[in-house]
Amino acid sequence: MTEINTIGVIGAGQMGNGIAHVMALAGYDVLLTDVSQDALDRARQLIGKNLDRQVAREMISETDRDAALSRISATLKLSDLGTSDLVIEAATERETVKQAIFDELLPHLKPETILTSNTSSISITRLASRTDRPEKFMGFHFMNPVPVMQLVELIRGIATDGDTYDACLGVVEKIGKTAASAEDFPAFIVNRILMPMINEAVYTLYEGVGNVKSIDESMKLGANHPMGPLELADFIGLDTCLAIMNVLHDGLADTKYRPCPLLTKYVEAGWLGRKTKRGFYDYRGDAPVPTR
């Protein structure tokens, strides 16, 4: 089985910095890259803050925290990741962006490097087919927030070989998470179930069945969900929710996956949720306020 010691993470955003955090804490040497130095600096600060929180909760020791931080390096040069044993792409959920990243990275990779994507919905087989190593390519889908959520979806493309799967499974086990094997169909398991529920909640709002508060309270108190579906959509990012619904709609050709027009309208307005301070809730004040 391929031995994994060094891990390259592409993208220092919400998912990328969380992946770097858990990998470094588990003992891997991590090289994090992004197109923005500001993003790398913010990621470093956030990783440190989240590790401090774990120390305060006595989940890890100060020695663990310091060792994890020492294992994380950052670079603006994508080519620097070429010596990694495993690369995890965690860039924005747009296939053209991911493909451009792989095209730039491929000439610099070792022949044995495993290439993976944290995509939440895009075809692993299609992404892999455009590389020089479809047998060493697979989906490595973490849940958000990465340090907290226990599940990792492992998605094999049609060409992914057994050694690649076993190596990635070994990484998941080493970081103390649980792997779920998913077949390479649109949105895999979690988002295939979750996103239509969120989309239906938006339709419920769009059609005036309930307002933001009543919809979220109904699902929290009536179905025992820890977060309401509209609150969860804001946490995920409405642009990401829309992108996944479009993948489902295009890939399965079923009208039940048609994105709600209201979801599209919020994205057109740039109201993407927590990251832009407005979505189904307005986060610019002391407490979130429903926008409808």
Q: Among the options 93, 118, 121, 153, which is catalytic?
A: 153
Nearest to 231 by CA among 288, 189, 269, 271: 288
The question of whether 207 is a catalytic residue gets the answer no
Q: Among the options 89, 191, 199, 231, which is catalytic?
A: 191
How far is it, in rounded angstroms, from Cα 36 to Cα 222?
A: 43
Q: Among the options 93, 118, 141, 231, which is catalytic?
A: 141
The question of whether 61 is a catalytic residue gets the answer no
Q: Among the options 120, 121, 123, 199, which is catalytic?
A: 120
The question of whether 141 is a catalytic residue gets the answer yes
Q: Are 251 and 244 in contact (CB under 8 A)?
A: no
How far is it, in rounded angstroms, from Cα 103 to Cα 92?
A: 16
Pair type for strands 151-156 and 137-142: antiparallel
Reduced to 3 states (helix: H, G, I; strand: E, B; else coil), residue 282 is strand
The question of whether 249 is a catalytic residue gets the answer no
> Which residues make Cβ contacts (< 8 Å) with residue 234, sequence separation at least 6?
273, 274, 279, 280, 281, 283
Positions annotated as catalytic residues are 120, 141, 153, 191
